[in-house]
Amino acid sequence: MNDKSKCMSPVAVGGVGGSGTRVVAEILIQLGFYMGNDLNAAYDNLWFTLLFKRPDWFFKNLNSRESQIFKGINIFENTMTGTLSSKYNELIFIMKAAVEMMFKGQDHLGSGKGLWPLKRVLTMIQSKKRYSFKDIGWGWKEPNTHIYIEYLSRYFDNLKYIHVIRHGLDMAYSSNQAQLYNWGIMFGVEANNLSTPLPILSLKYWNEANKRAVALGKKLFNERFLVINFEKLCINPEDEISLLIDFLKIDKKKLDINELAKLPKLPKSAGRYKNYDLTIFSKNEIDTVRDLGFEVDK
């Protein structure tokens, strides 16, 4: 990328893990956005994963060493825009992240241990060779992005942030609980509290994480912040995709919205919460799910 493209405003997509961010990333790619060269099957940007899916590092630098978080964002931006210089301090930062993940992994299951981080380092160094000038913009999708929303708003002048939310009660019974274990303490939720059923802990995390993301998004980004309700996206894809395109300020005349509308699919797990006893959840927790835009059928 050239200097001009480095000034382009990026688009970031985040949400609690399993919220449907994948389909939003797929839509952005179809619209012509460059989302990185190193993606997994869910379209997660694995450079972001390597640099930022590190709870110990994040909490260590949260207050007195914020400059390290901004340094990581700068390195990520340089990688995405093809301007990573491979300077000594940049390489040291990247290698420290890789070594940490080699031994600790990126979640409670140890995912990402071993050679996985070194593969990410290699693709980061090679990134400048692969950018396509055909792309209309750049961005990334990585669910954990919402954890860094405040820092991203302070670093990027015009970043657009898309927060995807899926029904909290369905999410409470999901097998994808990595964020709960990684970031739960940030919201006063002890993931290893064996005296409390996991769905209760999961819903509390879902509520607190989404309330924070929505509040900060509205406050920090204003019109550059968009919430996508995953269920609505799947049930009324044309309308929701049209709103997304308006948010991105892309000319609809050049697009086939009907074709894009084929991408969202309501998963079989939608509504699974109806198979469980909801009396384990407090009234306040259920009300928060409703406040965030979801109906709760008893």
Say if 296 falls within a structural domain. no
- pLDDT band at residue 86 under the 50/70/90 scheme: confident
Pick the closest to residue 82 from 42, 43, 34, 41 (CA basis): 34
Supply the CATH number for residue 126's domain. 3.40.50
Any idea which residue has 């308006």 for tokens? Answer: 246
Q: Does the pLDDT of residue 186 top 90, yes or no? A: yes
Averaged pLDDT for residues 32-54:
97
Measured CA to CA, the distance from residue 124 to residue 78 in angstroms comes to: 9
Structure tokens at 262: 């084929």
Averaged pLDDT for residues 281-289:
97
Span 154-185, pLDDT tens digits: 999 999 999 999 999 999 999 999 999 999 99
Span 208-237, pLDDT tens digits: 999 999 999 999 999 999 999 999 999 999
Structure tokens at 75: 């390195």
Residue 296's pLDDT is 95
Q: Does the pLDDT of residue 1 top 60, yes or no? A: no
Q: Does the pLDDT of residue 45 top 90, yes or no? A: yes
Residue 3's pLDDT is 43
Please report how the helices 66-80 and 88-104 are oriented relative to each other, as an axis angle in degrees rounded to 10.
Answer: 100
Measured CA to CA, the distance from residue 110 to residue 41 in angstroms comes to: 19
The torsion angles phi and psi of 45, rounded to 5 degrees, stand at -80, 110
In terms of residue numbers, what domain contains 191? 3-291
DSSP state of 39: B
| pLDDT above 70 coverage of the chain, percent | 95
In the predicted model, what is the mean pLDDT of the chain?
Answer: 93
Triad 4, 69, 126: Cα angle to 5°: 50
Span 121-142, pLDDT tens digits: 999 988 875 555 567 899 999 9
Question: Could you give the strand order of the β-sheet that contains 160-165, starting from the edge strand earlier in sequence?
Answer: 33-34, 137-141, 11-14, 160-165, 225-229
Residue 85's pLDDT is 81
Measured CA to CA, the distance from residue 160 to residue 48 in angstroms comes to: 17
Say if 298 falls within a structural domain. no
Please give the tally of structural domains in the chain: 1
